[in-house]
Amino acid sequence: MKSLVLTTILSSVLLSSCATSPLGRNQVAFLPDEQMSQMGIQAFGELKQKTPIETSSQINNYVKCIANAIIKEVGGQWEIVVFKDDSANAFALPGSKIGVHTGILKVAQTPSQLAAVIGHEIAHVLSKHSNERASQEMLVNEGLNLTKGFLGAKGADPTVAAVLGLGAEVGILLPYSRTHESEADLYGLDLMAKAGFDPRESVQLWENMSKASGNKNSPSFLSTHPSHSNRIQDLQKRIPNAMTLYNQAKAAGKNPSCKL
């Protein structure tokens, strides 16, 4: 009876929460956008309290020049903060928040390369990947709890239930995250091109990333991110389309002049 009720509830959720990503992929994201925004705002506030913020006007102006050029293409009021952190990282959160670590500037060595990073992060938010990820984890956790209860009632070996957790992580959750990363790469490429940044430099960015990581990648099937080589191949396939957007942007007079 419990199984039937849970199945009915989950089926209703799936049917009522179907969405489509900006690149046309079907999604399940059933958490309210307002709730996701509030979570992002809260998390960003906590980060600002815990992490030193870069005070250099030169660095801040440079990062915001690039970010604002992309924001003009997507709309909205976004908060941009540069964190004084040596890790090569950047992120964006629901609630229109963008964080950039100073360490990324050692890898993203040109405005267009940094635009590829920021475009990627904004693409995550616009594609509602956080909502999709949270929604999926909720569904997977409910399914695992139901299965474990069933196995326990049947007297099954408890190690089987433990393996189910690993199986779900490797088989469902991690590949889904790789899908998000790949989608953000491609959609972010379009966003940077529309803003007037050269999409071809996205390839150099990931070559720089590969060198910075010592050319080491964990096996793709156990990684939440595609390998650097796979990312580069996928970007190269989409660059012709992005170049059309880039040329249109240049013809429209979009020529961001961002200097460090």
List the chain domain ranges.
2-251
Question: Are the CB atoms for 196 and 242 separated by under 8 Å?
Answer: no
Cβ-defined contacts of 47-51 (< 8 Å, 24+): 47/83, 47/99, 48/81, 51/83, 51/84, 51/85
Full pLDDT tens readout for the chain, 260 residues: 444 444 444 544 444 456 787 877 887 777 788 888 888 899 999 999 999 999 999 999 999 999 999 999 999 999 999 999 999 999 999 999 999 999 999 999 999 999 999 999 999 999 888 888 877 777 766 655 654 554 455 555 555 445 445 555 545 445 557 788 889 999 999 999 999 999 999 999 988 988 887 756 544 434 556 666 788 888 899 999 999 999 999 999 999 999 99
Position 163 scores a pLDDT of 47
What does the alpha-carbon distance between residue 89 and residue 101 come to, in Å, rounded to a whole number? 5
* Catalytic site positions: 121
What does the alpha-carbon distance between residue 250 and residue 56 come to, in Å, rounded to a whole number? 30
The model carries a pTM of 0.79
